A and B are shown apart, each in its own frame.
Chain A
């Protein structure tokens, strides 16, 4: 291994994994964008059911978990990578629950039917969720790689000592 690569790995002992941490926070930002966008298509009382309650609750849990993970990956803790992957997967799964059903649904008001979610809005919320999921996955993968490199480097220092 070249000297520069060794120094780069050694730097990780004293610097934070800001890339992973920032990506996790970016995941939250796009989740919030999704969250504030979806209800713009409020037609009649379509959203007034238990699903929306669960969605709000999941959003809170997602933001809390993603924030905790961003702090965890900042310190190269590999366990948080798995949590981030689960959160990323959750964002993908969400596309097929509330947004897709809203996109397919129509709501009838005074015998006239209206689409609950237009195609443009559907595309936007899907993009938000996909980017959020991608950020979570990228953060997790980068952290896994870096934490493994750091662990190997620390082990090699221990061997030398």
Chain B
């Protein structure tokens, strides 16, 4: 049982630089929360504040209802897995995993049982006598996770644990973390700048930018109904296409193109008549059709999909993710249609939901 509550948390450094602004979130027991955002957005700082490695300037942090804002890191019953593994090179895997409990002078037999159980979970049983230098990156990261598991902490904290791994290993280790979470049913906070990790791992995602929380929601909510332009642009690969358009006569008029709207879309935009808004279209929501002409300048085949980069009228850049293998050449013209559309207020950059 571990419920974490972050209430109005700010982080202000000594030089008056504020890294985190009014962070509010309640983490339920057994939930896997992913903090995602670009470098410098404050996600690692937030994690380090939760771990107790950074002081909380304002606000409070509660663990199971107990205020741990000023509690030292060692007393918080949390385990952190770092990007660089932080393993002791002169110790074996077994010794690395047992180290924290050895320091706390726990019974060696109990330590032994816990280490073997963790090694079994992580598939490290045959590696226990090896030193970290003899292991692959993925195995080292598993050792780092094992070191956390043996402590049986209330909360697991992961600070970009997969960033040092190559793409293939990253995928495999990501799946292992997911299985681990399902098996342990532990509360986990996971920091990453990789949206694929965020979308595949999270029960809920916290998207951050410039120290502010932009949106908290399930992966589907962030992908399907982004709260603002930042989230819309950050979540999704390739990123969403944005166009400045004028809503007029039930149509969206852009530079050199016009988009017809459905009745539901017109209703959502009813308060924006004759106003400029930002239209967002995900590359995967663009399909070959008859509406808009795109002049191709680049074609990337990904196997089952093809990324087509081109210009619409007046030089607006657009990226489309088309199904199947296509071989467009620079200069080819392809006609496309827009599927699901996202609308954003041009001033506030917030999504237009139509409730206004």
Contact = CB atoms under 8 A, between A and B. Distances in A.
Interface of A: 4, 7-8, 10-11, 13-15
Nearest to B112: A11
Interface string B112-140: 11010000000000001100000000000
A14 B129 contact: yes
B331 interface: no
Contacts of A10: 112
Contacts of B128: 13-14
Contacts of B129: 13-14
Q: Is the interface of A mostly helix, strand, loop or mixed?
A: helix
A13 B112 CA distance: 10
Contacts of B113: 7
A11 B108 contact: yes
A56 to B, nearest CB: 33
A4 B112 CA distance: 11
Nearest to A5: B109
Q: Is the interface of B mostly helix, strand, loop or mixed?
A: helix
Interface of B: 92, 94-95, 108-109, 112-113, 115, 128-129
Nearest to B111: A11
Contacts of B112: 7, 10-11, 14
21 contacts: A4-B109, A7-B109, A7-B112, A7-B113, A8-B108, A8-B109, A10-B112, A11-B108, A11-B109, A11-B112, A13-B128, A13-B129, A14-B92, A14-B94, A14-B95, A14-B112, A14-B115, A14-B128, A14-B129, A15-B94, A15-B95
Given A14-B95, A15-B95, 13 more contacts: A7-B109, A7-B112, A8-B108, A10-B112, A11-B108, A11-B112, A13-B128, A13-B129, A14-B92, A14-B94, A14-B115, A14-B128, A14-B129
Contacts, number: 21
Contacts of B95: 14-15
Nearest to A4: B109
Nearest to B93: A14
Contacts of A7: 109, 112-113
* The 9 nearest A-B residue pairs measured at CB: A14-B94, A7-B109, A11-B112, A14-B128, A7-B112, A4-B109, A14-B129, A11-B108, A8-B109
B95 to A, nearest CB: 8
A41 to B, nearest CB: 42
B88 to A, nearest CB: 14
A43 B91 CA distance: 50
Nearest to A75: B129
Nearest to B119: A14
A15 B128 CA distance: 10
Contacts of A15: 94-95
A10 B108 CA distance: 11
